[in-house]
Structure 1
Amino acid sequence: MFGAIYIGLSGLNAYSKGLQQVSNNVSNLNTTGFKGSTVSFHNLYATPDRGGMSLTGQGGSAGYGVEVDDGTLNFKQGELRSTDRDLDLSVDGSGFLVLLDGDRTLYARTGSFEVDPAGFIVMSGTSYRLATLDATGRAVSLSVDARRTSAPKATTAVTFADNLSSTATSYAVSDIRVFDASGAAHVWKADFVNGSDGWTVTVTDDKGVTVGTQTLKFNAGIVDPATAKLDFADAASGLTVQFDFSSGVTSFSGGEVSTLRAAKVDGYAAGTITGIAADSAGKLQLTYSNGQKVDGGAIALADFRDPTRLEQRDGLFVEREPGQSMLLASDDPRVGQVRSKRLEASNVDLSQQFGDLILIQRGFQASSQIVSVSNDMIQQLFGIRGQG
């Protein structure tokens, strides 16, 4: 009967711990990236070499109570919820983001990131650096400090498109913005005058100073290859810009209406970072105020042979046994894809937790009843003394 009391007490203890696991799951219902654990119990056995009174999970044949398991993490994908931050990242798949903290490596399913004063991309509120893959496939921390600005590029070509009416006498394309080597902008204007020997093209700058004059010719409405590309050199700005008419420019009758335009102008001014986000290929992309984009490297994703062997700590995961992971890039089917402006919600199933809660409560009540009945029987046994 004393043994029954101890068995009942093991039940009270196990179901109390089971309640803690369920409570932890439920309380983290809205914790970003949280993975719920499955509550389970196993039988305890007595070891004959210790007189049958020691409780252990090995050996023996008689049951001596119950014990709660540590709990197995459920890595089912949580809902990916939209946000308005480019550096809110999540993984659509089974992979894990890799975080570097000195010599330690941590893993996360999702997280809000920011740029720290040193230029490293870190998880908000921590010093954990987001890892990218280098050329050899190793996980390295990325600093954008050296890439905070985008160097200017001088304009070398202006590409024209559409039609220059063959019956028009003149036409002008204004507001052609070109950039010199220092990134300074210059506004040019191209005047087209129809003459007997073709179109005279005169380019002037924003001060009205003539940059240069060239002749553009057409053969049956098609640009003469000999004049398809015209160079204009500006000594004041140090620019030599090629006007390219070879890509679909025509000269057909259309009354006095022309649609010729500067479709593309290369070159740009200096720029500063305006955004950092993960692109569709899972690479960090830096966007600048001058419209340029720079690839910052592929975000490292870890694939584990058995994710259930990971330990969950403060919304992050650590390896119990190092060396169980493989580093891959986004889009690999083994890890999935990195999503920007997404955070993964908790995967806790509330209905399942309430079901477990009821079962744990019933188990606790039954175990307490065993203790109560055993105590009553012992009291009755003590009362036998003196009866006869």
Structure 2
Amino acid sequence: MMFGAIYIGLSGLNAYSRGLQQVSNNVANLNTTGFKGANVTFQNLTGAGGGGGLALTGAKGDGDGVEVGEGKLSFKQGELRASDRDLDLSVDGNGFLVLLDGDRTLFARTGSFEVNGDGHVVLAGTDYRLATLGADNRPVSLSIDRQRTSPPKATTSVTFADNLSSGAASFTVGDLKVTDAGGTQHVWTAAFAKDAAATGNAWNVTVTDAKGATIGTRALTFTGGIVDPASAKLRFGDAAAGLDVEFDFSAGVTSFSGGEVSTLRASKVDGYAAGTVTGVATNASGHLELSYSNGQKVDLGAVALADFRDPGTLEQRQGGVFAQTSPGEHAFLASSDPRVGQVRSRRLEASNVDLSQQFGDLILIQRGFQASSQIVSVSNDMIQQLFGIRGQG
């Protein structure tokens, strides 16, 4: 039985050594982005075959020692730390980002992404493509190659706001930048001149181009300081540039007395030139979005998030990536769904390792190892004493 005690003590040394390895891995990854720590547990061994073949088993099923339990990952969310990259993504909630690697589907809680040479958004340093939700709510990869350029849109409307003083004789709104269908920008000037020959508050609006050539002249009238509906929308066309633009004065333009001071301005000019991609990021709704140099944005679709009924079916791989190694139910959802949380741009999830917990486990493991080594030492002393008795006999 003393030999059995040695083997039981050895099982403790082996188990606590492996437990120390788990704690060491947790502590070493204290600052690893997206790392999920594993808890350390121990379980007793009884019956034949216990202790990995180390222990001697009694007929009554006496204890055979101890072994380290299978470490279970803690999926408690780590701190979301701010970064300066639009494609540093994390999930504020329970969901997992979906990564596509050929026929394989992998998962991640956070990661630094980039656009590769093929135009796909991939996890930095890998070929794992970030997935968005397709029309059938299944994850699909996407490429931005066909959307690197934002096509131009011709200007069709210029909207005006504020007051054109009835006490002034003239006023000019300059630097009206309008764009033709080919993306070329033209600068117009709108000159307002009081029509002295007309009864009431009437103005002649003359539009000229950058060279001073007249585009057209239209009449603008006010009644009681409010723009006359019949003249609230005036059209100006430049056939050579292919432009047909409506000047809209219906959005609250007034003409009250303000001395000679007018505040009339162009509040909105639609249309824009061609643009190139300036950024890729997720918006507040968790959708991937392209930004262009012309101020336009294009929605590429919702970032796919996976919701697992049992995250314990996931195995942690290198680089903060998880793979589902055993059967388990999961659903693919958009970040607007409360079951998965929200995709956050410019955020990286820190490790969830609790250092105080790890140091507590470290002390317990150390004490367990010391106690197990003492069992081996005492058992060895008893066996030596027994050999000494036999020698005296």
Task: Report the equivalent of 1:370.
Answer: 375
The aligned runs of 1:15-164 (5 Å cut-off) are 15-47=16-48, 61-164=61-164
State the distance in 2 between where 1:199 and 1:33 align. Answer: 66
In structure 2, do the counterparts of structure 1 residues 180 and 61 end up closer, same or farther at CA, with 3 Å as the change threshold?
same
The aligned runs of 1:191-206 (5 Å cut-off) are 191-195=191-195, 196-197=197-198, 198-206=202-210
State the distance in 2 between where 1:150 and 1:187 align. Answer: 21
1:321 CA drift (Å): 1.9
- In the alignment, which of 270, 274, 285 is matched to residue 289 of structure 2? 285
Name whichever of 213-222 and 59-68 sits farther off. 59-68
1:61 CA drift (Å): 4.1
Contact in 2 for aligned 1:130/1:141 (Cα 8 Å): yes
The aligned runs of 1:173-212 (5 Å cut-off) are 173-195=173-195, 196-197=197-198, 198-212=202-216
Tell whether 2:298 aligns with 1:294.
yes
Q: 1:138-191: CA deviations, max 9, x gaps?
A: 000121111111000000000000000111111110000000001110000001
State the distance in 1 between where 2:17 and 2:218 align. Answer: 90
Where does the alignment leave 5 or more consecutive residues of structure 2 unmatched?
A: none
- In the alignment, which of 268, 271, 279 is matched to residue 267 of structure 1? 271
Contact in 2 for aligned 1:46/1:54 (Cα 8 Å): no
Contact in 2 for aligned 1:278/1:340 (Cα 8 Å): yes
Identity of aligned residues (%): 72
State the distance in 1 between where 2:327 and 2:217 align. Answer: 71
Task: Report the equivalent of 2:220.
Answer: 216
Q: Which residue identity does 1:148 align to in structure 2?
A: R
Secondary structure of 1:367's counterpart equals helix
Task: Report the equivalent of 1:349.
Answer: 354
1:386 CA drift (Å): 3.9
Task: Report the equivalent of 1:325.
Answer: 330
- In the alignment, which of 366, 379, 382 is matched to residue 384 of structure 2? 379
State the distance in 1 between where 2:169 and 2:266 align. Answer: 19
Tell whether 2:232 aligns with 1:232.
no
Secondary structure of 1:72's counterpart equals coil
Task: Report the equivalent of 1:10.
Answer: 11
Contact in 2 for aligned 1:45/1:60 (Cα 8 Å): no
1:327 CA drift (Å): 0.6
Contact in 2 for aligned 1:47/1:54 (Cα 8 Å): no
Secondary structure of 1:14's counterpart equals helix
Q: Which residue identity does 2:172 align to in structure 1?
A: A
State the distance in 1 between where 2:114 and 2:60 align. Answer: 56
1:47 CA drift (Å): 2.7
State the distance in 1 between where 2:352 and 2:140 align. Answer: 30
Q: Which residue identity does 2:364 align to in structure 1?
A: L
